[in-house]
Amino acid sequence: MWRACARPSRRRSRCWRPRPASATSCGTCTISTSSRGRWRPSEMGGGGISVVVTAHREGTLLLPTFQSAKVSAEALARRSEVPVEFVISLDRPDAETQAVAASLPGRLTTCDAGDPGANRLHAVAAARHDFIAFLDGDDLWSSNWLCKAWDLMQVIEPGHRETCMLHPEYNLIFGAHSMLVRQGDPEDPFFDLTYLRSGNYWDALSFCHRRIYEEFPFLPNDPANGIAHEDFHLSCVTVLNGVEHLLVPGTVHFKRRRGDSVSVKAEERSARPRFTELNFYGFYGRSGKAAGA
């Protein structure tokens, strides 16, 4: 069994680093791989929410995407006074996408990165609030997403809200592919850390404190050398550093799959994410589980 790291929280907090069975803490859940040194949760205020919509060549598909975000924000506004802003971040947009984005309320920012992770980081730097909620420019949120995610974040002790990433319970994929996927739930008895050797439990459309992205930034893709799936790599890095991934019950992200999307092209080239400790079989011990588990 994977053992929970003994961090105080109203929810059961998990750190998936291997440790001796007799230990009460893995001793590493505050270690960051960034150059900033040790990373520890700090007390924080309630902050606000920056809804970040990233786009590049979505054109008019950006309209229903923004409307779904607006409906979700309005639902939250009817029950909470938490401030919400909209940030639309464009990366090398075509003329149609630029024009559509300029017609929408919220702050518009652009970058010339040619990389989805870099675009998200550009938007985080431009955001004014503590919590970041990502939405790709051709996807949709269930109307309850912001309400449910905010409610769950409020039951986590303030000093630990910086160490949790919240994900929708389901991804409903439509377009070039059709499927319903339940994302990885560490509370589920069938959750298996070794799955992260080859597959990603969570995508980038999460809700979390901005400090997670500041300490564990998306690394750039390198398609020419077979490196892609920046969200997969971030999942591994955050797990290794004690960030807790939680599902928000009853929520859905509707994810459009296009035949020419960045992720589809990466899969066609058999591209892989950057390596982490989770890729090495010795990390888990002979049984396929964490050493000492």
Q: Return the number of other C-beta atoms located less than 10 Å from residue 142's C-beta.
A: 22
**Tokens matching residue 10:** 């109203």
pLDDT of residue 7: 31
DSSP string, 143-171: TTHHHHHHHHHHTS-GGGGGGEEEEEEEE
Q: For the chain, give the mean pLDDT.
A: 81
Q: How far apart are CA 290 and CA 19, in angstroms?
A: 8
Extents of the domains making up the chain: 49-279
pTM for this predicted structure: 0.80
The length of the chain in residues reads 293
Q: Nearest Cα to 149, choosing from 129, 166, 132, 134?
A: 166
Phi-psi category of residue 41: left, alpha or beta, with phi > 0 → left and psi -120 to 50 → alpha: beta
Average pLDDT over residues 118-134: 97
Residue 222 pLDDT more than 80?
no
- pLDDT confidence tier of residue 2, bands split at 50, 70 and 90: very low
pLDDT of residue 31: 25
Min mean pLDDT across 128-132, 194-198, 267-271 is at 267-271
Summarised one tens digit per residue, pLDDT across range 249-272 is: 999 999 998 766 655 555 556 577
Q: Which fold has domain 49-279?
A: Spore Coat Polysaccharide Biosynthesis Protein SpsA; Chain A (3.90.550)
Contacts of 128 (CB under 8 A, 6+ apart): 48, 50, 85
**Tokens matching residue 264:** 């589809």
